[in-house]
Amino acid sequence: MLSKKQLFSRGMLDIAPHMLSVIPFGIICGAIGVDLGFNPYLVYAMSIIIFGGASQIVFLQLLSGGASSLVAVTSVGVINSRHLLYGAVLSEYLEKLSFIKKLLISYVVVDQGFAESNKFFKKNKTEQYLHYHLLGTGITMWVCWQIATLAGIILGSFVPEELGLKFAIPLTFIAIVVQDLKKLDHVIVMLVCGISSLLFFEAPFKSYILISPVIALFVAALLLRLKK
């Protein structure tokens, strides 16, 4: 049985490699916000209030492009709706927590943290304080995101644009799913999701990010039926 501290550090350790892409991305996000002409305090406040990478950039880009607040807010909601799926998966492991603790831990659920903690949970179902792993991944992400966006806001885009560091974001997610390429059913689900995301990319409110997982999960359900 691992202690709370051990689980927390394990979470920090598991998420740490992803900072290679999260930190440059955070700097870019902060810098873009200021470049678009928004109040620096406002740009930074988003990192605390929304705390959701790409959705923060989309929000500011939409507003500066003349979209209404309603469109911008709806888009953020749609982009971040993927967390509903993460929550449904994580709920199994967080069941024993009190209501208040569930409310608090929810704030730090992010893509990479969910992915790494979920992998750990699947292998260590019997641990008593599993949620400390999620706290470890989530809080590490939070702290790095705050520092990175702040750095981008204050120092501007000191990361040269020619380096194309935005490309690190898809790479981070490739690292997360790459081991599942061993399983044919997962490969099919990934391709369905990926191709759908390209087909529906122009759908309103960035809803491709919600439509493609729904289609992919539907295909997953069909595959499960076929396997029986």
Partner 1 sequence: MTWLSITIAGILTYFTRMTMIVLVRRDLLGEKIKAVLAYVPSAVFPAIIFPAIFINDYGTYIEMNDPKIFGALVAIIVGYFSRNVIATIFSGLLSYWIIIFVFLS
Using CB under 8 A as the binding rule, whether residue 181 contacts partner 1 is answered as yes
Query: Quick check: 61 and 74 in contact, CB under 8 A?
Result: no
d(CA 1, CA 129): 9
Q: How far is the CB of 37 from partner 1 (least distance, A)?
A: 11
In the structure encoding, which two tokens stand for residue 16, read together? 């740490």
Give the residue with the Cβ less far from partner 1, 6 or 197: 197
Nearer to partner 1, 54 or 147 (CB): 54
SS3 156: coil
Q: Binding residues for partner 1, how many (CB under 8 A)? A: 89
Q: Does 42 bind partner 1 (CB under 8 A)?
A: yes
Q: Which stretch binds partner 1 (CB under 8 A): 3-11, 27-35, 152-160, 161-169?
A: 161-169
Among 3, 5, 163, 204, contact with partner 1 (rule: CB under 8 A): 163
Total length of the chain: 228
Compare residues 3 and 207 and give the one whose CB is closer to partner 1.
207
Which region, judged by CB under 8 A, interacts with partner 1, from 5-13, 143-151, 152-160, 170-178? 170-178
Residues near 115 by Cβ (< 8 Å), separated by ≥ 6?
A: 176
Q: Report the residue from 10, 29, 32, 55 that binds partner 1 according to the rule CB under 8 A.
A: 55
Q: Are 82 and 91 in contact (CB under 8 A)?
A: no
Candidate residues 8, 120, 132, 208; the one interacting with partner 1 per rule CB under 8 A: 208
- The answer to the question of residue 177 lying near partner 1 (CB under 8 A) is yes
Using CB under 8 A as the binding rule, whether residue 179 contacts partner 1 is answered as: yes
| Interaction between residue 31 and partner 1 (CB under 8 A) | no
What Cα–Cα distance (Å) separates residue 48 from each residue in 41, 62, 209?
A: 11, 20, 23
Examine residue 194 and tell whether it contacts partner 1 (CB under 8 A).
Answer: yes
Count of C-beta atoms within a 10 Å radius of residue 78: 20
Closest separation between CB of residue 7 and partner 1, Å? Answer: 18
Distance CA 147, CA 160 (A): 18
Interaction pattern, residues 64-103, with partner 1; x per rule: CB under 8 A: -----x--xx--xx--xxxxxxxxxxxxx-xx---x--xx
- The nearer residue to partner 1, 156 or 194, going by C-beta atoms, is 194
Q: Would you state the structure tokens that stand for residue 127, as one six-digit string?
A: 């641990």
Largest CA distance in the chain: 57
- DSSP string for 76-113: HHHHHTHHHHHHHHHHHHHTTS-HHHHHHHHTT--HHH
- Using CB under 8 A, which residues numbered 128 to 147 contact partner 1? none
Q: Which two tokens stand for residue 122?
A: 């699947």
Q: How far is CA 98 from the centre of its chain?
A: 24
